[in-house]
Amino acid sequence: MSSRIGRWFSDRLPVRAALRWSLEEEIVGGDSFWYCFGSACLFAFVIQAVTGIWQLFYYVPARDYAYQSVIYLRQEVPFGWLIHGLHYWGSNAFVVLVGLHIARVFIWGAYKKPRQLTWMIGPCLVLTVLALSFVGALLAWDELGYWAAEVGTSIAGTTPLIGSFLKIFLRGGAAMSQMTLSRFFVLHVFVLPGLLGILIILHLVAFRQFGSVGPWDQERRKKMGLFWPNQVLKDLIAVSVIFLILVGLSAFWPAPVTGPADEVDTTYVPKPEWQFLFLYQFIKLFKGPWESVGTVGVPLLLFLILILLPFYDRSMERNPLKRPAVMAGGAAFVAWLITYTILGYLSNATPPVSGAPLLLAAPLPPGAQKGADLFQKQGCRVCHTVNGHGGSIGPDLSKEGTRGRSRQWLTQQIRDPKSHNASTVMPPSTSLSGSEVNNMVEFLATLGKGGAVSPPAPTTLMETPPAGAAEPRPSPSYAIALPTAASEKTEVEKGEAIASTGVERGKNLFPTLPCIGCHAIGGKGGIMGPDLSGEGSKGHPISWITAQIRDPQAHNPNTIMPGFKSLSEEQVNDLAKYLESLNSGPGKDSPGSADPPATSSDPPDSSSDKGEAPLSPTSAPPISSSNSPESGTHELPGPAALRVGNPSHGGLLYEKNCISCHGPEGKDNVPNSGSDDGKVPALNPIDPELYSKDPLTFARTIDRFIQHGSVPPGKHPEKVMPAFGDNLILTQEMISQIEAYILSLNGVDRSAIRVPGMQPRKFFILTAVVLGLLWTVIGFYWIGWRGK
């Protein structure tokens, strides 16, 4: 302190003492890069604190604004992408660095007397850091954070005795709500960082009480090192490398945008963040009443194992080679963590539906091959595993052919499982014809013969590894199911008592089936599929109609209309006769009803006709098409246009709701007879009048169609776009996901940064250059120092 001003301060504050305490430390055995992890953790804390405070200038902890405020920061604030990215990657780095630091301290035996307290503060720090990452995720109020918090608080609720109180205390009530967000916000921004700060200070002070533990080798201990400047410079290099990595990650791997939180959307598959995957996977082993042992007991046990280490390893030996038991224990612990993290990452709780291919040892004879195809299509593999793929609800059938079961037994099992086991949950397959069951039995009889087929993976409930946070579900699922044998019979029986002709029977059968959920007749019914009121005048022969009912995919491979194989031939014929008899136009409520039935419908050309349009899986109560506005009178965009969704999640929703009219990836020009265009507008590429390279404008434009629906110009268009938003078929959040997808099909990134400050890639290069200079300077200093 040479200057007078400096002296003035140091006379009034203990500046000199503080500097001495913090910088003048002798390191037994010399400074080392191994000792950098602790400082790196401190650095991570500082990065989180600073970027966290900076985000507070923009973030709003209110349910209706949280997601938007984060997106605003990321897209419209200069370097917002950097601040948010550093915070996101910084949190991951923090967990990794803490892990590395613990490992280093463990190997050096720095937990032994007299440093036990320093070590014991450690697990408390770990817990606080993990808690911070857990509550922080919810703040963005996106799908990822919302569901993680939903499941996490439910898990807390399973704690014995205090569980239900704990859950509603964390949530601020029974449901995930504004109060939940507010509480998590206070925890994340104030309580936990405060706690962390106090623990860090205690940890540092306890550490300084005895200093660095140093090498275990007596020879090496003779050399003394200095904290300042040598260790400090090494720490500086280490943290600057970490900083460069964080900047790089922020620039090239932005934090995921999973779309706004949506309670209704069932296509999102929640999965914990990577640091919790090991626990997620491990507690699956604790079933039924043992579950809370897994969710509460296991973390508690882990915590105790860590924190009590200095008390069950009391030997003073620090050389790792002379502590084989402890080292083996530590290695086993790490191996267990890594294994379960990987298993957790790969696991997929949803059983695979028809998707994964059946692995067969050898080509099958034709009958058995047909049976194998049926086995796929009928969804048997959801419950039964065959050759490594499938569910585990029912027994593994990979060796069914070697079990000595007669063909008759197998047939009986497929048709009526309850006759063998009254309490089975296997549903009866009333839908299959006699020859189809025979083929399936033939197929089953081949399983297990002709050598084993090695399954590709150990877990039975495994599907291909997911990409990214939003786990894709297998093939689209839809809400409408096939009728059970029982309900079908009573309705049909009643119908038959009254009616005598096929048309009458078909007319009575129709309302008992899912058809009216999507197709309207006489103004009553759904609007997802074409109006069938004038089916008879469309020129479809009966054979076409029966084929359409049984196997719509044969006419239009992209349709999501389900095939109704459960119906008998007679029933299908009756339905077809009924439909063919319908000659009136659509009901009086719908537009275009004043026109006489269309006479100019083209005869179906089986090679190009794509068949009837498909069905929305999440059907709201069907409403007549009069609710859709005429095209050209589109109203304002809705809230969905302002929210940034996730394109791959949007793709899943697209497959469920849009694909059968707009085609896969929006490409196919699906016919729409009766409209002026003759086809459904393509989305990829979309009409240039609707396209905009500005994501917000583009989203707003297409949002109007999705919210309010659209009736294409034409005399009597077969397909009409439903008002997905107005009729609550899709939530605003789901619409925003689909919009992100459609934009991505057209090469526009909905989550693009609009005001970057400096392009991320350029900024990364600049950072690398600046840090490179720093390292060069330090390098010269070192060479100079060493040269003395």
Partner 1 sequence: MSRRRFLKCLVGVLSAPLAAFLGWPMLSSLIGPLYRLDKPRFVKVGSLDALPLGMPVSMNFEMPTTDAYIHSNATHSVWVIKHSAAGATVFSPVCPHLGCHYDWYPDARNFICPCHGSVFSVDGKVVAGPSPRPLDTLPSKIENGDLYVMWELFEVGVRGKRAIG
Helix, strand or coil, per DSSP, at residue 179: helix
Q: Which is nearer to partner 1, 492 or 680 (CB)?
A: 492
Residues 708 and 629 sit within 8 Å (Cβ to Cβ): yes
In angstroms, the first-to-last Cα distance of the chain is: 26
Stretch that binds partner 1, among 462-470, 480-488, 591-599, 630-638 (CB under 8 A): 480-488
Q: What part of residues 446-465 is at the interface with partner 1 (CB under 8 A)? A: 461
Residue 147 makes CB contacts below 8 A (sequence gap 6+) with 261, 268, 270
Say what angle helices 4-12 and 15-23 make with each other, to 10 degrees.
Answer: 90
Q: What part of residues 121-180 is at the interface with partner 1 (CB under 8 A)? A: 147, 150-151, 154-155, 157-158, 163-164, 168-169, 172-175, 177-179
Amino acid type, 445:
A
Question: Could you count the other beta carbons within 10 Å of the beta carbon of residue 370?
Answer: 18
Q: Which is nearer to partner 1, 283 or 683 (CB)?
A: 283
Q: What part of residues 704-763 is at the interface with partner 1 (CB under 8 A)? A: 728-729, 731
Q: What part of residues 554-583 is at the interface with partner 1 (CB under 8 A)? A: 562
Q: Which of 11, 33, 78, 266 binds partner 1 (CB under 8 A)?
A: 266
> Within 473-525, where are the H helices?
485-498, 502-509, 515-518
CA separation for the pair 142, 649 (Å, rounded): 13
Least distance to partner 1, CB of residue 278, Å: 15
Work out whether 473 is an interface residue with partner 1 (CB under 8 A): yes
Residues β-bridged to residue 521:
524
CA separation for the pair 578, 542 (Å, rounded): 10
Q: Which is nearer to partner 1, 263 or 569 (CB)?
A: 263
Q: 514, 603, 613, 511: which is closest to 555 by C-alpha?
A: 613
Least distance to partner 1, CB of residue 500, Å: 23
Q: What part of residues 497-526 is at the interface with partner 1 (CB under 8 A)? A: 511-517, 524-526
CA separation for the pair 572, 552 (Å, rounded): 13
- DSSP structural state of residue 641: G
Residues β-bridged to residue 471:
269
Question: Could you count the other beta carbons within 10 Å of the beta carbon of residue 94?
Answer: 22
Q: What number of CA atoms fall less than 13 Å from residue 569's CA on the CB side?
A: 3
Least distance to partner 1, CB of residue 626, Å: 14
Residues 140 and 70 sit within 8 Å (Cβ to Cβ): yes
DSSP secondary structure string for all residues of 427-460? PP-TTS-HHHHHHHHHHHHHTT-SS----S-S-T
Counting Cβ atoms within 10 Å, is residue 695 exposed (0-12), middle (13-18) or buried (19+)? buried
Q: Which is nearer to partner 1, 459 or 746 (CB)?
A: 459
Q: What part of residues 370-429 is at the interface with partner 1 (CB under 8 A)? A: 378-379, 382-383, 392-393, 425, 427
Q: Which of 127, 191, 204, 284 binds partner 1 (CB under 8 A)?
A: 284
Stretch that binds partner 1, among 190-198, 337-345, 473-481, 659-667 (CB under 8 A): 473-481
Least distance to partner 1, CB of residue 241, Å: 38
Work out whether 324 is an interface residue with partner 1 (CB under 8 A): no
Work out whether 287 is an interface residue with partner 1 (CB under 8 A): yes
Q: Which is nearer to partner 1, 315 or 392 (CB)?
A: 392
Q: Which is nearer to partner 1, 491 or 665 (CB)?
A: 491
Q: What part of residues 87-116 is at the interface with partner 1 (CB under 8 A)? A: none
Phi, psi of 521 (to 5 degrees): -135, 125
- DSSP structural state of residue 269: B
Least distance to partner 1, CB of residue 420, Å: 17
Least distance to partner 1, CB of residue 377, Å: 8
Work out whether 430 is an interface residue with partner 1 (CB under 8 A): no
Least distance to partner 1, CB of residue 524, Å: 6
Q: What part of residues 635-694 is at the interface with partner 1 (CB under 8 A)? A: none
Work out whether 621 is an interface residue with partner 1 (CB under 8 A): yes
Q: Which of 481, 758, 766, 768 binds partner 1 (CB under 8 A)?
A: 481
Stretch that binds partner 1, among 117-125, 261-269, 737-745, 753-761 (CB under 8 A): 261-269
Least distance to partner 1, CB of residue 382, Å: 4
Q: Which of 315, 421, 487, 568 binds partner 1 (CB under 8 A)?
A: 487
Stretch that binds partner 1, among 126-134, 201-209, 356-364, 613-621 (CB under 8 A): 613-621
Least distance to partner 1, CB of residue 542, Å: 23
Least distance to partner 1, CB of residue 472, Å: 11
Residue 623 makes CB contacts below 8 A (sequence gap 6+) with 527, 727
Least distance to partner 1, CB of residue 622, Å: 4
Helix, strand or coil, per DSSP, at residue 679: strand
Residues 391 and 460 sit within 8 Å (Cβ to Cβ): yes
